Every structure is written in structure tokens, then in C-alpha cells.
Amino acid sequence: MKGLVVSVLIALLVFGCTQQYAAPNAPQAPATTPAANSGLQAPPAAQASKATVGISGFAFNPASIEIAKGTTVTWTNKDSVPHSVTSDNGAFDTGIFQSGGEGSYTFNAPGTYAYHCSVHPSMKGTVVVK
């Protein structure tokens, strides 16, 4: 009896595996272009530059940063209260994010972007995009 149970279990295991591998009859994506071009290293479409600004002690740190256009800036809230990163002229707004949260924005146009925290307007910072 015990041997039968083991046999059934093995049969189930084998069947389960076989079925798993045999079942997908889905059309395979044609492995054309990526493999064919594998020798060519395409240049990164856009340099996904990143920068980070911490928020602690009710201050942006660093308060002013200079970045290349196309850079995504991420602000990380290290305080115990919510903050936001809100453009002074309405160009962008991360919305309010909680302690431990973060907000980000990608700057695609050169310029000087002054911002503040909508919860604490005395908190100010600047992003200079070259």
C-alpha cells in the first residue's frame, strides 16, 4: 500500500512537471532582432541620469543642485513629517510624501527651478538644469 502511494506521488510529480513543460503551446516570440544585433552595442537612448536630494531637519540637502537636462531628481524624506517638492512657479509638484517616502521629477528643459515645500513654505531649494 505504501509503495502504491509513493508510486502515485511520483506519477503525479512527473506528470505535473511534464504537463508544465509540455502545456505552453503559445507562439514563441520570434528571436530575431535582439539576437541578431547582439554584437552591436546600441548607445543608451537617453542618458538616464539621476540625482538625489535628501530632506532632513526641515531642509533640502543640498538646497541647490546643478544637473544636466534629462536628469531625474529624487527627493527622499528623512524627516518624521510629510513634505513636498513644489515648484515656485508651478512647473512641477511632487505632491506631499510621507516620512521615508520620496518624490521625483525629470527636468528636460534647461533653466533655474526654485522650489519649496507646500507644507512648510520656509523650506526652499533650487535645481539648476544645464
DSSP letter (8 states) at residue 119: S
| Among 83, 97, 113, 125, contact with Cu ion (rule: CB under 5 A) | 83
Q: Residues touching Cu ion: how many (CB under 5 A)?
A: 5
Nearer to Cu ion, 71 or 86 (CB): 86
Strand partners, 104: 74
Q: Please report, as a single letter, which amino acid is at residue 51.
A: A
DSSP class per residue in 11-60: HHHHHHHHHHHH---PPPPP--HHHHTTTS-PPPSS---EEEEEEETTEE
- Does position 63 interact with Cu ion (CB under 5 A)? The reply is no
Residue with Cβ nearer Cu ion (67 or 123): 123
Residues in 8-27 that interact with Cu ion by CB under 5 A: none
What is the binding site for Cu ion (CB under 5 A)? 83, 117, 119-120, 123
